[in-house]
Structure 1
Amino acid sequence: MKHDQFTGIDHTESMLAQARTRLGDRVRLLDQDILNPELPNGFAVAYSVGGIWLFLRDQDGMQLGSHLLEDDENVTGLQNLAAALRPGGTLLLAAQEAHRPYERPLPGGLVYAQDVHHHGNGRITKDYYVLREGMAIAHQRSTYRVFPEAEADRLLEQCGFRLAAGGADGLFRQYVQQLERRDDAG
């Protein structure tokens, strides 16, 4: 398989470095921001597995989680993604269990813990910790914009995607790019 068949994008050098270490030259990795990308057109498939967008599943259904906190940023990012896909291209968004508080042991007597706060305004905050003897030795906080399933499907449709028939297999939700691709000519 040629490396130019797969392209990964991220706007953080640390994530790109991790990907380079794992994948070597098997993929093309680009430092890009989905809000202002310089991507070639014509991709057949785009996917996000815990990246910018993902679906969170719980007993109440599905929610689209996004690292983009503003609604207009989500519209811009998804429209840019639709423009990079060829007409009829596929968008796969991972579906995983909803973020929840829990702890698990790590090697060396450490503990991984996470805590989740629902703010009730379409936002959740997730705190990740590494604990030693109950004390945090590492901490990271991420805030997500969440969209209930029906609102997420409307957002994706507004941006040029429709849910594919049978497009929710439990691991991914599959969408099809439905708009004509925008050209640079206008």
Structure 2
Amino acid sequence: MYQADVTDFDLHTQYQVVISNGGVWYGVWWEDGKYGYCGHLPEPAQVQKSLNCVIKHIAPGGQLILSMQDAHRNKTMDLPQDVTYEQRIHDKGYGVFDKEYIFTNNSDNRQLCYQRLTLAYIANEVFEGALHAFDFTGPVISPNRHYMVFTRPA
């Protein structure tokens, strides 16, 4: 396992599969059934730079796989052991938003965990354009709609 800045790293090797499972980028399903992209990099230039960096690490014939999820929205869910999960979305404009994750113990209303982070929707043209510039094909959506796959030519 490695930890690095996704916009500037070199592992000096290539892999057959690179997976972003809710990581720096991932796919989202819109309410109309179409898909888009989201990630932790709010600037399109950062997205482009990160993809260029990761592409160098995908071997010929290799794949980039992204997990997919529903578009972000406010929601609350009851969890086991009398815990509630809540996520709150705060729109900052231009496709950028803050997302709060809150876990609360219901018996004493005590907050167990809290995180707030900034995310951004990524224009399909930006994400797919970066991959297609290197002749990747895709995306191909998995039958269960949980993953999208881009393939580098052999």
TM-score of the pair, normalised by structure 1: 0.70
Task: Write the deviation string for residues 81-140 of structure 1: whole angstroms up to 9, x where unpaired.
Answer: 111111232111111111221111233432111111333302122111112455644321
Matching residue within 20, 41, 51 for 1:68: 41
Whole-Å separation in 2 of the counterparts to 1:97 and 1:75? 23
Determine if contact 1:161/1:175 at 8 Å carries over to the other structure.
no
Whole-Å separation in 2 of the counterparts to 1:35 and 1:152? 14
Q: Are residue 143 (structure 1) and residue 143 (structure 2) matched? A: no
Name the residue aligned to 1:171. 146
Q: Find the residue that maps to 1:80 and give its secondary structure.
A: helix
Matching residue within 57, 73, 80 for 1:100: 73
Q: CA RMSD in A?
A: 2.3
Name the residue aligned to 1:46. 18
Whole-Å separation in 1 of the counterparts to 2:115 and 2:92? 18
Q: Are residue 152 (structure 1) and residue 127 (structure 2) matched? A: yes
Following superposition, the deviation at residue 77 of structure 1 comes to: 0.9
| Percent of residue pairs identical | 23
Code of the aligned partner of 2:151: V
Whole-Å separation in 2 of the counterparts to 1:36 and 1:122? 24
Q: Find the residue that maps to 2:73 and give its secondary structure.
A: coil
Determine if contact 1:63/1:152 at 8 Å carries over to the other structure.
no
Determine if contact 1:82/1:161 at 8 Å carries over to the other structure.
no
Compare 168-177 and 131-140 and name the one that shifted more. 131-140
Q: Which runs of no fewer than 5 residues in structure 1 stay unpaired?
A: 1-28, 181-186
Determine if contact 1:116/1:126 at 8 Å carries over to the other structure.
yes
Q: Are residue 85 (structure 1) and residue 64 (structure 2) matched? A: no
Determine if contact 1:163/1:173 at 8 Å carries over to the other structure.
no
Q: Find the residue that maps to 1:119 and give its secondary structure.
A: strand
Whole-Å separation in 2 of the counterparts to 1:123 and 1:167? 26
Q: Count residues in correspondence.
A: 149
Name the residue aligned to 1:30. 2
TM-score of the pair, normalised by structure 2: 0.82
Q: Find the residue that maps to 1:72 and give its secondary structure.
A: helix
In terms of fraction of residues, the more helix-rich structure is 1
Task: Write the deviation string for residues 44-64 of structure 1: whole angstroms up to 9, x where unpaired.
Answer: 111111111100102232221
